[in-house]
């Protein structure tokens, strides 16, 4: 065991896009677990877009990180000390361990990981919260049917790539939207999308809509929403009657703070609500933390596909806790390729 714990705290709340000054690396003593708790040495931590919302002091579905508090997030690592039934030193576990080298968690809040089946990092991506989000949103709210057309932005990220691969396996035409030609090649050649559109090649929603219309000649039946912004503007007029829109994120608006000043100006209410009304669309917002009871079903269906290689995985791994802030800032700018992780040990 090392003598000290390193952790990254929220030094100040960002105004707009986060900067390095909003984070602070602190060193403290390694904590001691109490009864029913486990001390974990973190090996990998996850960086995810939702963390930007935790930096704002705004009403949301979860409390914000306090100033001086450790940035929150999923992580996995090795049990060093256990005072909880069912856990022993050497066990590999997943939990909300935060941006830190060590973490204390109640045993009931941890999940054991079998490192012999797939790489342990899968628990933070393809078989963790992002993959689960894609699967649940598509299957529960997208209700995919063979022959339909699906569009998903951030197509090479851990959510979008899961959505696209599952939809393709079910017989849908899959169209991805990604930032840059490199990512579009990854979407088609690795993740199997039928087509991919580089949104950076289109300065506005009208131009993007033209490219989307060419890629979706039969219209769009399912739009998996995780971006917002000009992508949403481009998609809405192309939705087919009785289309479905699962909503799990709006990354393009996160840096505006709260619900996003940019969101207020991006689309008028009629531009959103009229297509919903006249095309009889189903729009379902969801937060995956409300659906953990379905995790065993997800793992039972998807883990075999990951093990067999039917579901492809791409990870972007940054080394060193001290580099987590810059990696997170890059994630919000779309600089990552695949699931963004930070390796601590």
29 within domain boundaries: yes
Q: Are residues 211 and 240 in the same domain?
A: yes
Q: Is residue 21 part of a domain?
A: yes
59: which 2 tokens? 């009403």
> Strand pairing of 75-82 and 37-46?
antiparallel
263 domain residue, yes or no: yes
Q: Do 181 and 241 sit in the same domain of this protein?
A: yes
Question: Residue 46 — φ and ψ, nearest 5°?
Answer: -100, 145
The count of domains in the chain is 2
Counting every residue written for the chain, the total comes to 345
The answer to whether residues 262 and 152 belong to one domain is yes
Q: Classify residue 303: in a domain, yes or no.
A: no
| CATH code (residue 249) | 3.40.50.720
Global confidence as pTM:
0.90
The answer as to whether 74 is a domain residue is yes
145 and 118, same domain (yes or no): no
In this structure, the answer to whether residues 107 and 221 fall within a common structural domain is no
Output the pLDDT for position 263: 45
Q: Are residues 57 and 199 in the same domain?
A: no
Looking at residue 149, its pLDDT comes to 98
269 and 140 in a common domain: yes
pLDDT score of 158: 95
Q: Tell me, yes or no, whether 112 lies in a domain.
A: yes
For the domain that residue 89 is a member of, what is the CATH number?
3.90.180.10
Judgement on whether residues 218 and 146 belong to the same structural domain of the protein: yes
Q: Flag whether 116 is in a domain.
A: yes
Token pair of 196 as six digits: 């991919």
pLDDT of res. 313: 97
Read off the tokens for 228. Answer: 């917002």
Write down which residue in 273, 288, 303 finishes a domain.
288
Residue-level pLDDT at 35: 97
Contact 272, 263 (CB under 8 A): no
Q: Are 235 and 325 in a shared domain?
A: no
What pLDDT sits at residue 331?
94
CA distances from 200 to 145, 205, 230, 303, 310 (A): 30, 11, 11, 33, 29
The parent domain of residue 76 ranges over 4-124+313-343
Residue 122: Cβ-neighbour burial (10 angstroms; 0-12, 13-18, 19+): buried
**Which pLDDT value is given to residue 268?**
67
Examine the domain organization and report whether 141 and 267 are in the same domain. Answer: yes
Q: What is the pLDDT along the chain (345 residues), one digit of tens a residue?
A: 447 999 999 999 998 889 999 999 999 999 999 999 999 999 999 999 999 989 998 777 778 999 999 999 999 999 999 999 999 999 999 999 999 999 999 999 999 999 998 999 999 999 999 999 999 999 999 999 999 999 999 999 999 999 999 999 999 999 999 999 999 999 999 999 999 999 999 988 899 999 999 999 999 999 999 988 889 989 999 999 999 999 998 776 666 544 444 444 456 667 788 899 999 999 999 999 999 999 999 999 999 999 999 999 999 999 999 999 999 999 999 899 999 999 998
Same structural domain for residues 209 and 257?
yes
pLDDT at 140: 98
Has residue 38 been placed in a domain? Answer: yes
Q: Residue 60 in contact with residue 53, Cβ under 8 Å? A: yes
How would you label 102-121 residue by residue, b for 16+ Cβ within 10 Å and e otherwise? bbbbebeebeebeeeebebb
85 and 111 assigned to the same domain: yes
């Amino acid at each position: 065991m090392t003598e000290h714990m390193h952790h990254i705290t929220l030094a100040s709340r960002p105004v707009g896009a986060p900067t390095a000054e909003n984070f602070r690396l602190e060193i403290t003593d390694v904590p001691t677990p109490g009864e029913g708790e486990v001390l974990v040495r973190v090996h990998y931590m996850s960086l995810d877009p939702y963390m930007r919302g935790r930096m704002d002091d705004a009403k949301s579905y979860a409390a914000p990180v306090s100033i001086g508090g450790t940035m929150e997030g999923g992580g996995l690592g090795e049990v060093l000390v256990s005072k909880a039934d069912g856990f022993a030193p050497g066990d590999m576990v997943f939990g909300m361990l935060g941006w830190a080298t060590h973490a204390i968690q109640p045993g009931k809040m941890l999940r054991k990981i079998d490192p012999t089946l797939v790489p342990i990092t899968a628990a933070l991506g393809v078989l963790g919260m992002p993959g689960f989000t894609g699967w649940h949103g598509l299957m529960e709210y997208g209700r995919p049917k063979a022959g339909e057309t699906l569009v998903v932005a951030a197509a090479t990220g851990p959510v979008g790539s899961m959505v696209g691969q599952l939809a393709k396996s079910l017989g849908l035409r899959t169209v991805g939207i990604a930032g840059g030609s490199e990512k579009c090649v990854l979407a088609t050649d690795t993740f199997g999308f039928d087509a991919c559109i580089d949104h950076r090649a289109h300065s506005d929603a009208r131009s993007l809509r033209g490219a989307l219309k060419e890629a979706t000649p039969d219209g769009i039946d399912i739009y998996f929403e995780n971006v917002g912004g000009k992508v949403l503007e481009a998609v809405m007029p192309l939705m087919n009657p009785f289309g479905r829109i699962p909503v799990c994120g709006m990354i393009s608006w996160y840096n505006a703070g709260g619900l996003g000043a940019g969101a207020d100006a991006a689309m008028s209410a009629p531009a959103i609500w009229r297509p919903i009304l006249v095309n009889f669309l189903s729009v379902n917002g969801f937060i995956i933390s409300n659906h953990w009871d379905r995790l065993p079903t997800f793992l039972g269906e998807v883990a075999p596909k990951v093990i067999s290689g039917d579901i492809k995985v791409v990870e972007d791994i940054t080394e060193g806790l001290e580099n987590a802030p810059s990696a997170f800032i890059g994630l919000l700018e779309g600089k990552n390729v695949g699931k963004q992780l930070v390796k601590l040990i």
